[in-house]
C-alpha cells in the first residue's frame, strides 16, 4: 500500500496572489472587484503595486485568507476575464 500524500495547503491560510497586466486603472479596479466577490473583507492595506521601468506594465500583489481550492480556482478564472490581465500567479 502507498501512503496518501499530505495536501499542499491546509485551509484556511494566507495566500498571496500576483496579477500582472497593463498599467491602467481598470486593472486595479478589476482586481478589487474580483476580490470583493470571492474574498470579502481582505485587507486592502496589504496590496502592493509595482510598475515596470517604462510604465507599460503593472504587477499587483495581495494576500487573502484562502478558504479552499474552489475559491482560488474561481478567483483565478475571474481575474483572467479582463483583457488587461496578462498573467495571474
**What's the DSSP call for residue 89?**
-
Angle between helices 69-79 and 25-38 (to 10 degrees): 150
Mean of the per-residue pLDDT values of the chain? 94
What would the grid cell of residue 87 be? 498573467
The fold for domain 13-88 equals Alpha-Beta Plaits (3.30.70)
Domain ranges of the chain: 13-88
User: Is the pTM above the cut of 0.85?
Assistant: yes
CB of 63 closer than 8 Å to CB of 14: yes
- pLDDT for 32-77, tens place per residue? 999 999 999 999 998 999 999 999 999 999 999 999 999 999 999 9
Residue 74's nearest CA partner among 32, 35, 26, 44 is: 35
Amino acid at each position: 500500500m502507498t501512503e496518501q500524500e499530505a495536501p499542499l495547503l491546509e485551509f484556511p491560510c494566507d495566500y498571496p496572489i500576483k496579477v500582472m497586466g497593463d498599467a491602467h486603472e481598470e486593472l486595479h479596479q478589476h482586481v478589487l472587484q474580483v476580490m470583493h466577490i470571492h474574498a470579502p473583507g481582505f485587507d486592502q492595506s496589504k496590496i502592493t503595486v509595482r510598475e515596470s521601468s517604462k510604465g507599460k506594465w503593472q504587477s499587483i500583489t495581495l494576500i487573502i485568507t484562502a478558504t479552499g481550492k474552489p475559491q482560488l480556482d474561481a478567483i483565478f478564472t475571474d481575474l483572467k476575464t479582463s483583457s488587461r490581465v496578462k498573467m495571474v500567479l
